[in-house]
């Protein structure tokens, strides 16, 4: 058995990124690399991937363009493919950590964020949730309810809000008007990101809070107004998760579908319900889907997979109208008859 902790402790993630992605660019204290996600089109501007330390002192990488990221193991898999064991073998060859041998692990001093403001984040989320139902939030509410066909009771329950640029905004929350999509744990907002309704050319649709303000959980539970099914639907992003909640399903929105990592798989494997994956039918969605299925298999968690020809989960909600809950229920039942891809899907 490989000693995963020892391998990661002995691996220099910046050096590994140099070898796998090419030489680093930018200033010495904050170098960057191209993204390894095959579904992420490089723009030619500053490479979006950087390396940082968590508050526990562990090195991680993150692409701030598409959300891909993880440990050294995840970087090897993103670049080379293969299995987790293949990645462990490569890191073993680089570090000299062998089966049955463990180096003394000297964990570096954790990097403490310059600022964390949970009270400010919670205030921001609650203020935006109130703003959504005011005249100032009207255009954003119309986009959610008329454009995306999301029910008002689901929006209220999950504290979805509107940042219109006139209220309180904590340090570390990016500027820009849009939909505020919070992560809520036991009634308390712990994270938030924004969906910009009309981004400019080559500008991202989603803006994430700085890790200094709040650590990105990668996963967000979304609740239905009335839970009518046993399954939990794992979606690509919060809008699709809210679409599943509109049909009476508990949902978990995954941020950064291009590169799910071991931590995401472990968290999902612990959910006490059947899992149904519903990712976008495109390159990043297909890649993330296959990767997550492999990771969940290491935790002995079989999954059902919704095939979504013609659009994502929200586009199917818009096409389904009043019949959406029955259509999704039928598709989930069909998907659960097999754990292989593809399964019976929805048709727009």
Give 211-242 pLDDT, tens digit per residue.
778 888 888 999 999 999 999 999 988 999 99
Ranges of the chain with pLDDT below 70: 1, 38-46, 98-114, 256-259, 339-348
pLDDT of residue 303: 92
Third-level CATH fold of 4-95: DNA Primase; Chain A (3.90.580)
Check residue 33 and give its pLDDT. Answer: 87
Q: Which pLDDT score, from 0 to 100, does residue 329 have?
A: 95
- In the sheet with 232-236, reading across from the earlier edge strand, the strands are 219-222, 250-254, 232-236, 275-278, 304-305
Q: What pLDDT does 102 receive?
A: 47
CB 217 within 8 A of CB 186: no
Residues of the chain with CATH 3.90.980.10: 118-216
What per-residue confidence (pLDDT) applies to 36? 83
CB of 76 within 8 A of CB of 17?
A: no
Angle at 8 between CA 293 and CA 78, to 5 degrees: 40
Write down the CATH superfamily of domain 118-216.
DNA primase, catalytic core, N-terminal domain (3.90.980.10)
List where CATH 3.90.580.10 sits in the chain: 4-95
Supply the DSSP string of 316-331, one letter for each residue. Answer: HHHHHGGGHHHHHHHH
Q: What is the pTM of this model?
A: 0.69
Q: What is the CATH number of domain 220-335?
A: 3.40.1360.10
Give start-end residues of each CATH 3.40.1360.10 domain in the chain: 220-335
Cα–Cα distance measured from residue 233 to residue 206, given in angstroms and rounded to the nearest whole number: 21
């Amino acid at each position: 058995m490989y000693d995963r902790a020892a391998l990661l402790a002995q691996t220099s993630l910046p050096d590994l990124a140099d070898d796998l992605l090419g030489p680093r660019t930018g200033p010495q204290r904050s170098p960057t690399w191209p993204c390894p996600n095959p579904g992420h089109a490089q723009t030619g501007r500053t490479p979006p991937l950087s390396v940082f330390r968590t508050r526990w002192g562990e090195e991680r990488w993150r692409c701030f363009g598409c959300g891909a990221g993880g440990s050294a193991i995840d970087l090897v898999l993103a670049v080379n493919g293969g299995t987790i064991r293949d990645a462990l073998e490569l890191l073993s060859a680089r570090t000299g950590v062998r089966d049955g041998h463990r180096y003394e692990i000297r964990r570096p001093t954790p990097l403490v964020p310059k600022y964390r403001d949970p009270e400010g984040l919670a205030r921001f989320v609650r203020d935006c949730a109130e703003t959504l139902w005011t005249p100032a939030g009207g255009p954003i509410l119309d986009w959610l309810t008329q454009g995306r066909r999301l029910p008002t009771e689901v929006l209220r329950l999950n504290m979805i809000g509107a940042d219109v640029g006139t209220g309180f905004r904590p340090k570390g929350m990016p500027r820009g008007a849009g939909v505020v999509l919070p992560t809520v744990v036991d009634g308390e907002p712990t994270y938030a990101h924004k969906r910009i309704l009309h981004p400019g050319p080559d500008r991202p649709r989603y803006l994430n809070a700085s890790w200094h303000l709040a650590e990105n959980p990668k996963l967000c539970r979304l609740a239905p107004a009335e839970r009518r099914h046993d399954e939990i639907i794992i979606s690509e992003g919060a809008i699709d998760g809210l679409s599943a909640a509109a049909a009476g399903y508990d949902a978990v929105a995954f941020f950064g579908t291009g590169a799910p990592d071991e931590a995401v798989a472990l968290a999902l494997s612990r959910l006490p319900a059947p899992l149904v994956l519903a990712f976008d039918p495109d390159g990043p969605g297909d890649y993330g889907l296959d990767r997550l299925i492999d990771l969940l298999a290491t935790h002995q968690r079989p999954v059902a997979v919704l095939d979504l020809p013609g659009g994502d989960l929200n586009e199917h909600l818009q096409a389904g109208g009043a019949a959406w809950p029955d259509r999704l229920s039928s598709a989930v039942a069909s998907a659960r008859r097999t754990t292989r891809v593809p399964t019976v899907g929805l048709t727009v």
